[in-house]
């Protein structure tokens, strides 16, 4: 929360909701042998494959918002579990394509059903997934996700007249 604020900031609430969702999904998909991050990967892969795509690890990283190195690590773990297969892209020998195995399809369909039940619970206070408030909430989240964020660049002309020693005083 920020100084002088009478309640939680939007950033704090987004962080809390993201953590609440991650923990709930982790617990819900654990019996299927998945973590939330693994679920995000296989569910995205499932959707992309249904659309006729066999994405590379890079494409899947871009789609999920996860770091490419983390996607690679998750993919190796999921491959060891027999849920996905990794093959070299015939068009680009540096790229690795991903696909669900038959077992991966079965586990992913079960996991999607479980997570959709959680989503129903989460959105119930807004009238359920198809309700106008839930749709507006989804649109707002999409707008926020589409907004680029970068750390502010200090501008010497906008800074108060303080010395470097004063500026760094009390910082770790």
Locate 117 and state its tokens.
């039940």
Q: What angle do CA 16, 18, 22 make, to 5 degrees?
A: 115
Buried b (16+ CB within 10 A) or exposed e, 88-123: eeeeeeeebbbbbeeebbebbeebbebbeeebeebb
pLDDT at 89: 83
Q: Choose among 113, 87, 89, 84: nearest CA to 99.
A: 84
How many angstroms separate the CA atoms of 172 and 170, rounded?
Answer: 6
Condensed to tens digits (0 to 9), the pLDDT of residues 45-98 reads: 999 999 998 999 999 999 999 999 999 999 999 999 999 999 998 888 888 999
Mean pLDDT, range 11-34, rounded to an integer: 96
pLDDT at 170 over 70: no
Backbone angles phi, psi at 51, to 5 degrees: -90, 5
Condensed to tens digits (0 to 9), the pLDDT of residues 125-160 reads: 999 999 999 999 999 999 999 999 898 888 755 555
pLDDT at 17: 96
Confidence (pTM): 0.80
């Amino acid at each position: 929360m920020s100084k002088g604020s009478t309640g939680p900031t939007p950033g704090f609430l987004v962080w809390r909701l993201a953590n609440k969702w991650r923990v709930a999904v982790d617990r819900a998909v654990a019996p299927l042998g998945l973590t939330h991050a693994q679920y995000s990967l296989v569910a995205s892969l499932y959707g992309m494959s249904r659309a006729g795509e066999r994405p590379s690890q890079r494409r899947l990283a871009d789609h999920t918002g996860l770091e490419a190195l983390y996607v690679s690590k998750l993919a190796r773990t999921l491959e060891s579990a027999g849920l996905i297969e990794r093959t070299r892209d015939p068009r680009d020998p540096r790229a690795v394509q991903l696909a669900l195995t038959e077992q991966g399809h079965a586990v992913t369909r079960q996991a999607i059903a479980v997570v959709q039940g959680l989503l129903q619970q989460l959105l119930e206070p807004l009238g359920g997934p198809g309700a106008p408030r839930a749709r507006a909430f989804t649109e707002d989240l999409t707008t926020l996700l589409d907004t680029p964020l970068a750390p502010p660049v200090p501008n010497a002309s906008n800074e108060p007249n303080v010395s470097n020693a004063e500026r760094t005083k009390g910082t770790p």
